[in-house]
């Protein structure tokens, strides 16, 4: 599982074109340590190393966000603790623990 993730790590969806002189921020995705840049949204942070954010609730397709302006609700992910996050409008923060799949106790 971990090795697959790392291979995907080389092929994130997002391409950073500019503004890369920002401080690194460490967070965890599915228990794995990842690095983002201060000022990234959670969406940018995850898609910098992954092709998508999570599985879909109504079909086989994965989800990676759609509008980036808080209008479509396509982009949420789970946290290990606490409520789901709308990733396009939430800044990444040091130590965040995010999940691309529902935690066990999710109804």
Binding site for ligand FES (CB under 6 A): 65-68, 70-75, 86, 88
The answer to whether 38 touches 25, Cβ cutoff 8 Å, is: yes
Residue 87 CB, nearest distance to ligand FES (Å)?
6
96 binds, among other proteins, ligand FES, none (CB under 5 to 8 A by kind): none
Minimum separation from the CB atom of position 93 to other proteins (A) = 12
Cβ proximity to other proteins, 33 vs 69, nearer residue: 69
Shorter beta-carbon distance to ligand FES: residue 25 or 46: 46
What b-and-e string marks burial along 44-83, b requiring 16 or more CB atoms within 10 Å of the CB?
A: bbbbbbbebbbeeeeeeeebbbeeeeeeeebbbbbeeeee
Q: How far is the CB of 76 from ligand FES (least distance, A)?
A: 7
């Amino acid at each position: 599982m971990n090795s697959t993730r790392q291979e995907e790590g080389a092929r994130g969806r997002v391409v950073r074109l500019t503004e890369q002189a920002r401080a690194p921020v460490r967070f965890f995705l599915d228990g794995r340590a990842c690095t983002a840049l201060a000022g990234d949204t959670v969406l940018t942070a995850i898609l910098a190393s992954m092709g998508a954010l999570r599985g879909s609730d109504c079909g086989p397709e994965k989800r990676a966000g759609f509008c980036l302006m808080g209008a479509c609700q396509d982009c949420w992910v789970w946290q290990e603790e606490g409520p789901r996050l709308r990733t396009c409008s939430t800044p990444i923060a040091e130590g965040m623990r995010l999940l691309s799949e529902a935690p066990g106790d999710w109804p």
